[in-house]
Structure 1
Amino acid sequence: MKILARHLTVDLFNCKNSKLKDSKQINEAIEEIQEQFHFTPINSCSEQLDEHHYAIMLLFREGHIVLHIYTELKYVAIDIFLCQEQAEPERIAQAMRNFFKPDKIKSTLLKRGSFGTPKDIRPKVKTRVAPLRKIHNTGAKVLRVLARRNRS
Structure 2
Amino acid sequence: MKHLGRHVLAEIYGCEFDILNDIEKVEEIMVNAALEAGAEVRECVFHKFSPQGVSGVVVISESHLAIHTWPELGYAAVDVFTCGDKVNPWDACNYLTSQFRAKHMSARETKRGIFPVAEQLAEQQVAVNL
After TM superposition, the structure 1 = structure 2 runs for residues 1-150 of structure 1, keeping only pairs within 5 Å, are 1-85=1-85, 87-116=87-116
In our comparison, the structure showing a higher alpha carbon Rg is 1
Q: Structure 1 residues 23 and 38 mapped into 2: Cα distance closer, same or farther (>3 Å)?
A: same
Read off the aligned partner of 2:77 and give its amino acid letter.
Answer: A
Q: Cα offset for 1:112?
A: 0.9
Query: Residue 113 of structure 1 aligns to a residue in which SS?
Result: strand
- Checking the alignment, whether the CA contact within 8 Å between 2:7 and 2:110 is kept in structure 1 is yes
CA distance, structure 1, for counterparts of residue 71 and residue 45 of structure 2: 18
Post-superposition shift, 1:38?
4.0
CA distance in 2, matches of 1:94, 1:79: 12
Q: Is the 8 A contact 1:54 1:69 kept in 2?
A: yes
AA aligned to 2:26 is I
Gaps of 5+ in 1: 118-152
Q: Distance in 1 between matches of 2:29 and 2:54?
A: 16
TM-score (norm 1): 0.68
Seq. identity, %: 21
* Displacement after TM superposition at 1:85 (Å): 4.4
Name the residue aligned to 2:127. none
Q: Work out whether residues 6 and 85 of structure 1, in 8 Å CA contact, stay in contact via their aligned partners in 2.
A: no
Deviation at 1:40, TM superposition (A): 2.4
The alignment covers a number of residue pairs equal to 117
Computed over aligned residues only, the root mean square deviation of the Cα atoms, in angstroms, reads: 1.9
Gaps of 5+ in 2: 121-130
Q: TM-score of the superposition, structure 2-length normalised? A: 0.79
